[in-house]
Each structure stands twice: as C-alpha cells, then as structure tokens.
C-alpha cells in the first residue's frame, strides 16, 4: 500500500484518531444498533475514558445491543477518541440554530399528547427513526412514513410508536410525549 491515509491498515490502536472509514462505520453502528433504544445524545453527552466506554458498550450488549466483538472495539475506538473526559461538554450539534416560528400542529387535547414542534421533530427523527425509516422518511428497513396515512390517524400513530409492532421497537421508555408529538408534527410537514 502506497498511502495508508485514512483507509486500510488498522492503525487505530496506535493513534488517538481512528481512520475516517472506521468513524463512518462507528457512526452507522451508533444509529443502527444503539439508537434503537435511546437517542444518540445520551451516548455523546458522556465523557468517559476508554475503559469505561468498553464497560458501557459491554453493558449495552448485555441489555440487547447487537454488536460483535469487532464492532464493540470499533465503537470504543470512536467513542473514546471523541468523548473522553478532557472534551468540553457540548450542546447537541444538530439543533437548528434559528428555527423560526415553530410550526404547531393542532392535535385534539388528548391527555399526554402535547402539540408538536416541527423543527425539533426533525432532530428527534434523525436520532431515533432515520436509521430504519430513511432520510426524509422515504423508507428503509421500516416503511415510508412521509405521506403515510397513519399520520392522519392519531391514535394508531401513538399506539405504534409507544408500543412498537413487529420489528418496530417500542419508544415508550426512550422518548417522552413531547418528542413523539414533535416527530409526528415533522412527519406531517413532509410533502
């Protein structure tokens, strides 16, 4: 190999920064294996050293995260390079800076179902749903949600998201009512 550059040789143990291709894979793993239960914010808010990242990933694997040994190492490389104790705390990076007037979607005043905020819904979607339902909600492992008739059936939407269905995980423990309302508002705003 002429130039190892960012691909190829597993040099990640020698340097602090894993190669870019490994970063991409690690980010994919975070979305597809970790975000099924909680937002990736819960992960990237932590500031842990390598040993504690390994222990956390191990714990998540026991709780049901699907990661192979090799993937666990890749995630530990990625997370310990970025989110170690010397890194300052940061605001969630994806929050739109000047989301003008949040668009409120009217919902019947059903108990525990607040009006949704479209702009925030996009963030919640990106962190929790996009891995399966695709960018722009055009579908993936899960069905297309953009324009999906279920958006017009509020009860069915909430029932499906809260309790899951088939391969669709339940979100009751991971998202609060505001976040679910926000996602619904954002999905409803897609044309």
Asked if 104 interacts with ligand HEC (CB under 6 A), we say: no
Integer Cα distance of 139 and 151 in angstroms: 15
Of the pair 43, 73, the CB lying nearest ligand HEC is at 43
If binding is defined by CB under 6 A, does position 137 make contact with ligand HEC? no
CA distance 168 to 37: 11
Q: Which is nearer to ligand HEC, 18 or 171 (CB)?
A: 171
Q: Which of 22, 60, 74, 123 binds ligand HEC (CB under 6 A)?
A: 60
List the structure tokens of 113. Answer: 């179902």
Rounded to the nearest 10 degrees, how much is the dihedral formed by the CA atoms of 21, 23, 26, 32? -80
The site that binds ligand HEC (CB under 6 A) totals a number of residues, namely 38
Residue among 54, 133, 10, 56 nearest 121 (CA): 133
Q: To the nearest whole angstrom, how small is the minimum distance from the Cβ of residue 88 to ligand HEC?
A: 18
CA distances from 37 to 40, 58, 61, 110, 128 (A): 9, 15, 12, 26, 8
**Residue from the set 103, 168, 170, 177 that interacts with ligand HEC by CB under 6 A:** 168
66 contact partners, CB below 8 Å, separation of at least 6: 33
Per-residue x/- track, 14-53, ligand HEC (CB under 6 A): -------------------xx-xxx---xx--x-------
How far apart, in whole angstroms, are the C-alpha atoms of residue 19 and residue 11?
8
Gap between the Cα atoms of 110 and 154, Å rounded: 10
87 binds ligand HEC (CB under 6 A): no
Q: Which is nearer to ligand HEC, 8 or 32 (CB)?
A: 32
Residue whose structure tokens are 């297309």: 144
Question: In the set 103, 150, 162, 177, which binds ligand HEC (CB under 6 A)?
Answer: 150
Confirm or reject binding of residue 139 to ligand HEC (CB under 6 A).
no
Is 171 among the residues that bind ligand HEC (CB under 6 A)? yes
For ligand HEC, the binding residues (CB under 6 A) are: 33-34, 36-38, 42-43, 46, 56-57, 60, 63-65, 67, 75, 128-129, 131-133, 141-143, 145, 148, 150, 157, 160-161, 165-169, 171, 175, 183
């Amino acid at each position: 190999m002429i130039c190892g550059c960012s691909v190829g040789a597993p040099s990640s143990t020698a340097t602090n920064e894993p190669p870019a291709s490994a970063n991409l894979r690690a980010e994919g793993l975070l979305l597809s294996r970790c975000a099924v239960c909680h937002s990736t914010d819960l992960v990237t808010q932590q500031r842990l050293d390598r040993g504690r990242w390994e222990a956390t990933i191990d714990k998540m694997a026991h709780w049901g995260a699907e990661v192979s040994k090799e993937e666990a190492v890749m995630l530990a490389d990625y997370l310990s390079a970025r989110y170690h104790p010397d890194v300052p705390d940061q605001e969630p990076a994806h929050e739109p800076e000047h989301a003008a007037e949040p668009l409120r979607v009217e919902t019947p005043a059903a108990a525990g179902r607040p009006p949704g905020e479209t702009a925030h819904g996009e963030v919640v979607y990106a962190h929790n749903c996009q891995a399966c339902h695709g960018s722009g909600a055009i579908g993936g492992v899960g069905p297309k949600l953009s324009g999906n008739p279920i958006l017009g059936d509020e009860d069915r939407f909430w029932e499906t998201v809260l309790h899951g269905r088939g391969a669709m995980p339940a979100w009751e423990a991971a998202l609060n009512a505001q976040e679910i309302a926000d996602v619904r508002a954002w999905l409803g705003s897609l044309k």
